[in-house]
Amino acid sequence: MNNQREQMNVVIVGHVDHGKSTVIGRLLADTGSLPEGKLEDVKAMCARNARPFEYAFLLDALKDEQAQGITIDTARSFFKSKKRDYIIIDAPGHIEFLKNMISGAARAEAALLVIDAHEGIKENSKRHGYMMSFLGIKNITVCINKMDLVKYSEKIFESIKAEYLEFLSEINVVPQNVIPISAREGDNMVSSSSHMPWYKGSSILQALDTFSKQAMPYEQQFRFPVQDIYKFTAEGDDRRIVAGRVETGTIKVGDEVVFLPSNKKNKIKSVEGFNTSATTTAVAGQSTGFCFETQIYIRPGEIMCNAAERAPYVSTRFKTNIFWMSKEPMVKGKNYKLKIATQHVPVVLSQIVSVLDASELSSIASKSEISRHDVAECILETLKPVAFDKVTDISATGRFVIVDNYEIVGGGIILAPVFEESSIVKDHVHRREMNWERSGITPEKRAQKYDHKSTLIVITGQVETGKQRIAKALEEKLFRQGKFVYFLGIPNQPANLEKAGNDRTLNRFFHIQQLGEMAHILTDAGLILITSISEADDAELKILKSLNQPNKTLIIGVGEEEISTELTDLKLSANMETEKAVSQIFDLLVRSVVLDPEYNI
Amino acid sequence: MNTMTMDKLDNIEAQSVFILREAYREFKNLAMLWSIGKDSTVLLWLARKAFFGHVPFPLVHIDTSFKIPEMIVYRDNLAREWKLNMVYGQNKAALEAKITFPAGKIDRLSCCKALKSEALKHTLAGDWPRFRMNHTTGQYEIDKNTEPYTGVIVGARADEEGSRSKERYFSPRDKNNDWDVGDQPPELWNQFKTDFAPGTHIRIHPLLDWTELNIWEYIQRENIPITNLYFDQGTGKRYRSLGCYPCTTPVDSTAKNVAEIVEELRSGKFSNIAERSGRAQDKEDGGLETLRRQGYM
């Protein structure tokens, strides 16, 4: 397989009508990359319809695109140089289709930025230049096109070049080349043009061939975002495999690893694969899987790191640059879904630092929301801690998208973590308690009357471990003893789907929130409230505890290790005998003075 | 995969596996379309890579009844050998009424629409019967599961044909299976559209970045079993692309094995001729793009 050729993705961007499609058509034709007969077919079609032939027609694979005469969506074409194969991604120049441009550009390793020599620099010339830097594309060549229309004037070329380079330097972008071309006439496309003897630099094809492929990040700190945990039992397979892709670095059997944000540690026992020869290492770029020395309970989304290396940040707040694509502006206080590496968490826009007009590069500090096509520097707050890196350190774990109403509506890069004590949940609880109109009956009076203190008992663990059975038996026992007790069995799936939508991540949070608020009212009324919740993690239990404040919460973990020990008040084994489980919880209630028989106010 | 550096096949393999795992994580009702051809067979192999030898979702074949018979034999053999959850669907009404192109009743495109697009739409939705292989008896039985598939993995490649070059890895289809080319979701870095409104579904395209040559190089590297129809068996002809026999013609080629096909594509007679040139329906008005908008694979 040594004769596999190198491949590079190149995106072509620029203002509408500045000639991107013609550049691609020319490259395909002049490198001999068109399928046999294609050029003749298109020329014949033009002749039939009495239209002059244009190289851009080679790309017009779709009908409505021809009708409108503009590229709607990114399309891929393939061409070859002697050095390597290129996939050229044609990105639309029209502002309406910016999200399509971004999609094309996000998978590119290099960019050709086309500017019309006749029209000069336009809004999207700047916007696209900015987006290339936002997306992290390092290899950029600027093509000043349609030089034939300005009589191949060096003066015009130099003036556009100077103006555009000045703009790029403001956003710290240095292009590799600025090339005067005429795609229609084929000047400086694959070889030097005789029309512009004053230009001594590379042709486009030469420029592309000098772009270097970015080396795989083998040397960076190891990052393995967990996609899933598999246990396929078919054919007697008893492996429990943590699957994902190594984004950066390398790891080997025997290395100690840490999962973040849960902070669980383990040791690599094996690298798993199918139809591969046995291996003890995994490197950046590989989609692979691992088994571990000891049993492991983690969730998809965690980042596995080498315990001996610098860890990613774990926080709920970070400073970002966001690019917004939805017609609905991004507003404060609304729950969105954040997808970063393989983590999905609810997120809220906490603070807008400034909004940048990408075409003019002027900053607007006073905006209260982020509108479509804005680039904003802002602070986001997730409702659970996430693990991440600064985009300048490790890009794969430093960029994210935002989802609203089933759609990806924003993309962003993380500039820095923000560590602050305040949080949305804490602020909410603080405000709620400040504004709560207190009953005249104090908790102490209630405790005296009911002969017990109030508490929330949360029984958590994996599905089908007998949580509900235990919860109901406990309720019954306490009830028989005359305690003021209630089992709250609200379903995981909220009845009011209209409000919550069918987003699993946001629904889960909504459920926790609802449970916490109800618990707060019922424990405030002096109840012993029992509830069960499947597969809660540390962060969710902490939110629940916070929402139930200032009232007491007791957490009981059923089954194998899921949550951290400092959060757990009592540990029960899975499918324990009901009576035994109830009596252990009962002892806990006594110990924690909810039911102290000697209890006196 | 076992060396310290990744070559091109390693990279596209890793990306496809990543996509398959994202799909499996996000979609409860997931299925993979298996056309029995080389691309979707590579896709099936990649699923076994992604899930460590298992294929944890059903494979759906749309059987037009005009498939080359060897294809069905090959399908069922592999399904048995790899213990696949094998499902097929069919437009029984059109076949029984003989409203097909081979029967001379309709043109090629209408035939494709009826036997493939319609059959696919209703098989995915679960409102036409699905036939599932019973591994104990080896026979197909009506599948009790009629829930619609909300994630459908398809082996389309961007280099096949113009309209496919505009696909996303995760591409939404509306209630009528229609594809809105003008309004596609953004796809940033490796974040895909995995959320979908009720009634819609997502087509997942893990092979988008693969070329025909990559497919054969990978078949060669992994030693993936492929139906013999792709090889010249002494007649000087072989199939380059598989479909229904009335509309697919073999090409002139003496490539007898995978290595010879790779050579033929790399530098030989096919290095500059489009793959689907043997597919008659593409040449009719509108062709594949019209079919695709209406839900064709």
Q: Which CATH class is domain A314-417?
A: mainly beta
Is the distance from CB of B232 to CB of B256 less than 8 angstroms?
yes
For residue B188, which amino acid is it? L
Q: Does A272 touch chain B (CB under 8 A)?
A: yes
Is the four-CA dihedral A534, A538, A540, A545 of positive or negative sign? positive
Residue environment code for A438-462, b if the CB has 16+ CB neighbours within 10 A, otherwise e: eeeeebeebbeebebbbbbbbbbbe
Residue in B139, B233, B150, B132 with CA at minimum distance from that of residue B196: B150
Residue tagged 């040139």 (tokens): B277
Q: Does domain A7-210 have CATH number 3.40.50.720?
A: no
| Rounded (5°) CA angle A191-A137-A87 | 50
Q: Does A172 touch chain B (CB under 8 A)?
A: no
Distance from CA of B53 to the nearest CA of A (A): 6
Distance, CA of A137 to CA of A131 (rounded, Å): 9
Say what the pLDDT of residue A459 is.
93
Q: Which residue has the higher pLDDT, A98 or B248?
A: B248
What is the pTM (predicted TM-score) of this model? 0.85
Say what the pLDDT of residue A64 is.
39
- What residues form DSSP beta bridges with B222? none
Distance, CA of A100 to CA of A156 (rounded, Å): 31
Q: Say which of A64, A241, A408 has its CB closest to residue B182.
A: A64
Report in angstroms the alpha-carbon separations of B243 from B64, B110, B172, B250. 9, 15, 25, 10
Distance, CA of A124 to CA of A114 (rounded, Å): 10
Q: Does B25 touch chain A (CB under 8 A)?
A: yes
Interface of A with B in 27-46 (CB under 8 A): 35-36
- Which portions of chain A are predicted below pLDDT 50? 1-2, 61-73, 500, 597, 600-601
Q: Say which of A77, A289, A406 has its CB closest to residue B165.
A: A77
| Contact: A287, B54; criterion CB under 8 Å | no
Counting every residue written for chain A, the total comes to 601
| Contact: B217, A62; criterion CB under 8 Å | no
Domain map (residue ranges) of chain A: 7-210, 223-306, 314-417, 439-591
Say what the pLDDT of residue A112 is.
93
Report in angstroms the alpha-carbon separations of A295 from A126, A560, B133, B154. 53, 9, 36, 35
In three state form, how does the secondary structure of chain B look? CCCCCCCHHHHHHHHHHHHHHHHHHHCCCEEEECCCCHHHHHHHHHHHHHCCCCCCCCEEEECCCCECHHHHHHHHHHHHHCCCCEEEECCHHHHHCCCCCCCCCCCHHHHHHHHHHHHHHHHHHCCCCCEEECCCCCCEEECCCCCCCCEEECCCCCCCCHHHHHCCCEEEECCCCCCCCCCCCCCECCECCCCCCCCCEEEECCCCCCCHHHHHHHHHHHCCCCCHHHCCCCCCEECCCCCECCCECCEECCCCCHHHHHHHHHCCCCCCCCHHHHEHHHHCCCHHHHHHHCCCC
Residue in B197, B169, B225 with CA at minimum distance from that of residue B15: B169
Percent of chain B with pLDDT over 90: 43
Residue B290 — very low, low, confident or very high, per pLDDT cuts 50/70/90? low
All residues of chain B having their beta carbon less than 8 Å from the beta carbon of residue A338 are: none
Q: In what order do the strands lie in the sheet with A177-180?
A: A75-80, A85-90, A7-14, A110-116, A139-145, A177-180
Q: Say which of A289, A407, A408 has its CB closest to residue B52.
A: A289
- What residues form DSSP beta bridges with B172? B202
Burial class (CB in 10 A: 0-12, 13-18, 19+), A32: exposed
Q: Is the pLDDT of residue B173 over 90?
A: no
In three state form, how does the secondary structure of A150-218 look? HCCCHHHHHHHHHHHHHHHHHCCCCCCEEEECECCCCECCCCCCCCCCCCCCCCHHHHHHHCCCCCCCC
- What DSSP character marks residue A428? H
Q: In what order do the strands lie in the sheet with A528-534?
A: A485-488, A528-534, A455-461, A553-558, A570-572
Q: What is the mean pLDDT of residues B240-258?
A: 87
Helices A98-106 and A123-135 pack at an angle, to 10 degrees, of: 40
Q: Search chain A and give the residue with CA nearest B217.
A: A1
Q: Search chain A and give the residue with CA nearest B48.
A: A274
Say what the pLDDT of residue A13 is.
87
Q: Say which of B48, B184, B273 has its CB closest to residue A274.
A: B48
- What DSSP character marks residue A370? B
Distance, CA of A515 to CA of A101 (rounded, Å): 43
Is the distance from CB of A338 to CB of A265 less than 8 angstroms?
no
Residue in A397, A63, A513, A293 with CA at minimum distance from that of residue B287: A63
Is the distance from CB of A342 to CB of A425 less than 8 angstroms?
no
| Residue pairs spanning A and B at CB distance below 8 A | 176
Q: Search chain A and give the residue with CA nearest B276.
A: A35
Distance, CA of A386 to CA of A539 (rounded, Å): 10
Q: Is the pLDDT of residue B276 over 70?
A: no
Q: Which CATH class is domain A439-591?
A: alpha beta
Residue in A108, A180, A115, A176 with CA at minimum distance from that of residue A137: A108
Report in angstroms the alpha-carbon separations of B296 from B41, B114, B196. 18, 10, 20
For residue A343, which amino acid is it? Q
Residue B201 — very low, low, confident or very high, per pLDDT cuts 50/70/90? confident
Q: Is the pLDDT of residue B235 over 70?
A: yes
Q: Is the pLDDT of residue B139 over 80?
A: yes
Distance, CA of A112 to CA of B170 (rounded, Å): 26
Q: Is the pLDDT of residue B283 over 70?
A: no
Distance from CA of B13 to the nearest CA of A (A): 8
The answer to whether domain A223-306 and domain A314-417 are alike in fold is: yes
Say what the pLDDT of residue A455 is.
93
User: Which CATH code, of 3.40.50.620, 2.40.30.10, 2.60.40.10, 3.40.50.1370, is assigned to A223-306?
Assistant: 2.40.30.10
* Phi, psi for B149 (deg, rounded to 5): -80, 130
Distance, CA of B140 to CA of B146 (rounded, Å): 15
Say what the pLDDT of residue B278 is.
57
Is the distance from CB of A268 to CB of A252 less than 8 angstroms?
yes
Q: Is the pLDDT of residue B192 over 60?
A: yes
Q: Does A89 touch chain B (CB under 8 A)?
A: no
Helices A504-524 and A538-548 pack at an angle, to 10 degrees, of: 30
**Could you tell me the end-to-end alpha-carbon distance of chain A, in angstroms, rounded to an integer?**
81
Give tens-digit pLDDT for B59-117.
999 998 888 888 999 999 999 999 999 999 999 888 888 888 888 888 888 888 888 88
Say what the pLDDT of residue B44 is.
97
Q: For residue B184, give both structure tokens.
A: 């596609």
Beta pairing, strands B201-204 & B151-153: parallel
- Longest CA–CA span in chain A (Å) reads 102
A24 CB contacts (<8 Å, ≥6 apart)?
A: A12, A55, A56, A58, A59, A77, A88, A90
Residue in A304, A288, A90, A503 with CA at minimum distance from that of residue B193: A503
| Contact: B2, A277; criterion CB under 8 Å | yes
| Contact: A244, B289; criterion CB under 8 Å | no
Interface of B with A in 162-181 (CB under 8 A): 162-163, 165-166, 168, 181
Distance, CA of A152 to CA of A192 (rounded, Å): 13
Burial class (CB in 10 A: 0-12, 13-18, 19+), A598: exposed
What domains can you pick out in chain B, each with its CATH number? 8-211 (3.40.50.620)
Q: For residue B132, give both structure tokens.
A: 């599932």
Is the distance from CB of B110 to CB of B101 less than 8 angstroms?
yes
Q: Say which of A5, A63, A273 has its CB closest to residue B1.
A: A273
Distance, CA of A190 to CA of A208 (rounded, Å): 10
Q: What is the mean pLDDT of residues B113-134?
A: 92
- Average pLDDT, rounded, for chain B: 85
Is the distance from CB of B152 to CB of B23 less than 8 angstroms?
no
Prediction ipTM score: 0.89
Say what the pLDDT of residue A89 is.
80
All residues of chain A having their beta carbon less than 8 Å from the beta carbon of residue B135 are: none
Residue in A131, A54, A489, A504 with CA at minimum distance from that of residue A321: A131
Is the distance from CB of A396 to CB of A341 less than 8 angstroms?
yes
| Contact: B7, A4; criterion CB under 8 Å | yes
